[in-house]
Amino acid sequence: MMIQAFFVAISRLTLPALLGALFLAFLSGIDSLAGKGFFIVHLGLFMLWQPFVQGNQRLSLSSLLGIFMILAVIFSGTGGWLFVIWVMSLAAVMAGRVALINDRLLRITYQLAFAFLLLELLLVAVPDALTVARVQPQLSWIANLFLVFLIWVILLLQWKIDQLVSQADVMDFFSGLVVFLVLATLILGSLSAMLTLGSSYTEALLQSMLLIGSGLLLLGWAWNPHGGFAGLGDLFSRYLLSIGLPIERWLNTLANLALEEDDPEIFLSRAIASIVQSLRWVSGVEWVSSTRNEHVGLKSGYRSEYELGELTLRIFTKHQLTASLRFHLGLLVKLLAEFYADKRRALDLRNLSYVQAVHEAGARLTHDIKNILQSLNALCVAGNDDETGASPEYQLLLKRQLPVVADRLGATLLKLQSPSKITKSINQPVVSWWNGLVKRLLPNDWIYFSPLVLEGDIPGDVFTGVIDNLVQNAIEKRQHEPALRVRIELARKDNEVELIVCDDGSALPDPIASALFKAPVASKTGLGIGLYQASRYAESAGYSLSLSENRHGRVCFCLAPHSRESVV
């Protein structure tokens, strides 16, 4: 705990000590032995404070050689302007840190440190490096007192900060560069004013500060003029976002291609070709997908490779890409890859929809054929009995059933020959359909028919498919409930015909009733794939099949137009 407190105290003292050592170096005379010693201490403290290399890293050989070269320049006594450049660089680093700090006390600390370095540069370092840039002794004395005062204020603020936040270890390079250039302009402008206007250094410094301040004020207004006008800041932001390239035009081309082209491979080829055409610094692009390996343009120059799932892009540029340009190009490539992946998923969905449509059509026709075979099987079973087969009743049954079976089989074969007609229902008069249904199911004495009191047209194949499935399920249900009775009736609801089929058996279990018509249901007594396919076919004809009642002694199914609301 004591060791941690010690290191925290050292970290709080680093910045004030850094500035104090620089102050003592210039106060003692930068060319004197004491001044050089203080400046070496200042460099050591800077190595502890600097935000570029972490303290736990080892210095490379090149870094050590650079430090020895700086020390050699210091002891050679010829580094007057190098000290000016050093103070300017240190002030730029302080300004770069201030731009990224959110903590109020810490930001004030670095602002005061920047003010210290600015005064040290203009009133101490430049006059020491240039003999003609002399400062009045009174002003120099006041400046030294104020510099000492700033060091003590910075020290007190460092102790008031609860925790030295890690955000102080980052730096805005662009802000630091701007500050360095402004300081260089200020110094050179002051020297130019001294030579051209014959002013003293103090007067030239004030003139340069006034001129540069006015220029910065005008630039600030032009950067964001308000009043509904877009300033230089907006133009600069557009430049940074487009990285100096016609990126907006390429994005517009990409969006249009996404709307026009459905094939993913053709979309990818055209989009990559537009990259080579729009971005002049791109000499060629090679891409590898799951199905293709192609390229556009020349495969020469600097190569940048991007792997995004199944897609690999190799972009060849005429010049080596900077880090910022490589980052922006990566964003463009990711956007292209997302569009390509969406096209692939859309193609898979279309193929899946086609397979699903084929499956549903096949399942529907297979179920129709199964119902026809069940009817033929019932006739064959009755014909195998010698007495029944030779009876007039059986002959009459054949006369009634065989034409119906033949018509149903012909309709099924027509659907096989013309798959487009599978989803199209065939309307027929309700009277003829009802009479045919009664004749076909008349031998089943446990099925009752309500009197028909309406007229009109109905989709006969839809109603027939539903009746066949419900009757077949009732037959299987009678194996467990021999006393089961079924009633079939047609009713009119909102000028539309609806079919109601009820039995007096046991209710359906809740799990089966809730999943009915939504998906195939596994059940020992049917009520699964047949009703599901019949329900889908009814929906394509504008009808809905529902379980209108489900209680013991009354289980009712209703086939009605979509406007009818079913209650389960």
pLDDT at residue number 529: 67
CATH architecture of the domain 427-568 equals 2-Layer Sandwich (3.30)
Average pLDDT over residues 454-476: 84
Residue 542: which residues within 8 A CB-CB, separation 6 or more? 561, 562
Specify the 3-state DSSP secondary structure of 429.
Answer: strand
C-alpha–C-alpha distance, residues 131 and 510, integer Å = 101
pLDDT at residue number 561: 85
pLDDT at residue number 489: 92
Per-residue pLDDT reduced to its tens digit, 267-303: 888 888 888 887 777 888 888 887 778 888 888 888 8
Residue 567 above 80 pLDDT?
Answer: no
Residue 180 above 60 pLDDT?
Answer: yes
Between 229 and 558, residue with greater pLDDT? 558
Half-sphere exposure of 290 (CA within 13 A, CB side): 7
Average pLDDT, the chain: 78
Between 257 and 61, residue with greater pLDDT? 257
Average pLDDT over residues 57-80: 69
pTM score of the predicted model: 0.48
Instruction: Give how far Cα 146 sits from Cα of 42, 154, 310, 456, Å.
Output: 20, 12, 65, 105
Instruction: Give how far Cα 182 sits from Cα of 89, 126, 197, 212, Å.
Output: 12, 15, 21, 8
Per-residue pLDDT reduced to its tens digit, 35-48: 888 888 888 888 87
C-alpha–C-alpha distance, residues 287 and 268, integer Å = 9
Per-residue pLDDT reduced to its tens digit, 313-330: 888 888 887 777 788 788
The angle formed by the CA atoms of residues 11, 7 and 37, to the nearest 5 degrees, is 60
DSSP assignment of 79-135 equals: -HHHHHHHHHHHHHHHHHHHTT---HHHHHHHHHHHHHHHHHIIIIIHHHH-TT---
pLDDT at residue number 149: 92
Per-residue pLDDT reduced to its tens digit, 6-17: 556 667 788 888
pLDDT at residue number 555: 93
Average pLDDT over residues 240-261: 71
C-alpha–C-alpha distance, residues 557 and 568, integer Å = 10
Query: Would you tell me the crossing angle of helices 61-76 and 33-49 to the nearest 10 degrees?
Result: 150
Q: Range with the lowest mean pLDDT among 20-34, 220-234, 235-249, 332-346?
A: 235-249
Of the chain, the percentage scoring pLDDT greater than 70 comes to 73
Is-contact 154 127, C-beta < 8 A? Answer: no
Per-residue pLDDT reduced to its tens digit, 252-266: 888 888 888 888 888
C-alpha–C-alpha distance, residues 529 and 534, integer Å = 8
Residue 244 above 50 pLDDT?
Answer: no
Q: Which helix (H) or strand (E) holds 476?
A: helix 460-478
Q: Range with the lowest mean pLDDT among 37-51, 159-173, 476-490?
A: 159-173
Question: Pick from 168, 153, 136: which is nearest to 51 by CA?
Answer: 168
Is-contact 559 534, C-beta < 8 A? Answer: no
C-alpha–C-alpha distance, residues 93 and 99, integer Å = 10
Structural domain boundaries in the chain: 2-223, 241-352, 427-568
